[in-house]
A and B are shown apart, each in its own frame.
Chain A
């Protein structure tokens, strides 16, 4: 089967699955189910495309769908601050970093192998099937509020900000995170810098 046929089959199946999940969410849970199906199918489809595509650039851009979908799921869960942070940091920061990595390394279109992907799928899904019973046993004991009795969704950014700076809550972790980010960024610049020896002409050495 040629590459074009493979692409057509994959994206056709992906579109069918997306439409099916949208319809299923709409029928079973109404508007909320439709929104959930939209964002979760964005998330899963982005991850699938990231694994499927041969070119790293396409994979990186399909990862954007995953990040946006996760931000939408955060919104559905009532975490507006986290959704904005997700878009700012993941789409605006980490994805741009990955694209820089893509641009600074050579393309390798022959690297993907469907046999490896299928083998990995079988291996991981089989492995998670082995622990599935333990997971369901553990989740039965979770103290979960049923969806009908949940409190009304309100904006959480004030309580998150208060928790960050409250002396008895997370202020130490907050300052440590700031310190860690500074150290990590300085270290990244230090590791990735060009040595001055790279710029010296050959005859001077």
Chain B
């Protein structure tokens, strides 16, 4: 399997992540879509590292992406809980307090 196969899977996962973000009206689906997109980027990093010059740079980038994803998920969940507490809703379009 060449690098194109892995890049194809990463591209499909990226597209599905974007679709998940823009087609569902629930903040939790937005978070799941973001995780899919970060995973797609990770596949690309590791595949390019494997088929590249043999260093570890791609793997290190992927590890840092995973670390950032963990931090992001924790903070995003706290924000979701707070938004639900304030607006009694998990739809992103309902959090429009600044509009009035």
Q: Which of B1, B64, B91 contacts A177 (CB 8 A)?
A: B64
Chain A facing B: main interface SS: helix
Q: Which of A101, A117, A156 contacts B56 (CB 8 A)?
A: A156
> In the bound complex, do residue B56 and residue A66 qualify as a contact, i.e. CB atoms below 8 Å apart?
no
Decide if A22 is an interface residue (CB 8 Å cutoff).
no
> In the bound complex, do residue B26 and residue A108 qualify as a contact, i.e. CB atoms below 8 Å apart?
yes
Q: B66 to chain A: which residues have CB within 8 Å? A: 82, 85-86, 89-90
Kindly state the separation between the CA atoms of A85 and B42 in the bound complex, as whole angstroms. Answer: 12
Q: Which of B35, B51, B67, B80 contacts A144 (CB 8 A)?
A: B51
Kindly state the separation between the CA atoms of A33 and B47 in the bound complex, as whole angstroms. Answer: 15
Chain B positions 18 through 49: 1 when the CB is less than 8 Å from some CB of chain A, otherwise 0: 11101111101101100110010011001111
Q: Given A70-B39, A128-B11, A160-B60, decide whether A101 and B51 contact each other with a Cβ distance below 8 A.
A: no
> In the bound complex, do residue A47 and residue B63 qualify as a contact, i.e. CB atoms below 8 Å apart?
no
Chain B facing A: main interface SS: helix
The chain B residue with its CB closest to the CB of A198 is: B85
Q: B12 to chain A: which residues have CB within 8 Å? A: 44, 47
Q: Which of B3, B72, B90 contacts A105 (CB 8 A)?
A: B90
> In the bound complex, do residue B23 and residue A70 qualify as a contact, i.e. CB atoms below 8 Å apart?
no
Q: Given A73-B6, A105-B28, decide whether A47 and B23 contact each other with a Cβ distance below 8 A.
A: no
Q: List residues of chain B with CB under 8 Å of any chain A CB.
A: 1-7, 9, 11-13, 15-20, 22-26, 28-29, 31-32, 35-36, 39, 42-43, 46-54, 56, 59-60, 62-64, 66-75, 77-82, 84, 90-91
Q: Can you list 19 contacts pairing A with B, beta carbon distance less than 8 Å?
A: A43-B13, A44-B9, A47-B20, A50-B32, A56-B29, A60-B28, A63-B32, A66-B36, A82-B42, A82-B66, A85-B66, A90-B69, A93-B73, A105-B84, A120-B18, A124-B19, A159-B56, A191-B81, A191-B82
Q: List residues of chain A with CB under 8 Å of any chain B CB.
A: 29, 32-33, 36, 40, 43-44, 47-48, 50-51, 56, 59-60, 63, 66-67, 70, 73-74, 76-79, 81-82, 85-86, 89-90, 93-94, 97-98, 100-102, 104-106, 108, 111-113, 116-117, 119-121, 123-125, 128, 139, 142-147, 150-151, 156, 159-160, 163-164, 170, 173, 177, 180-181, 184-185, 187-189, 191-192
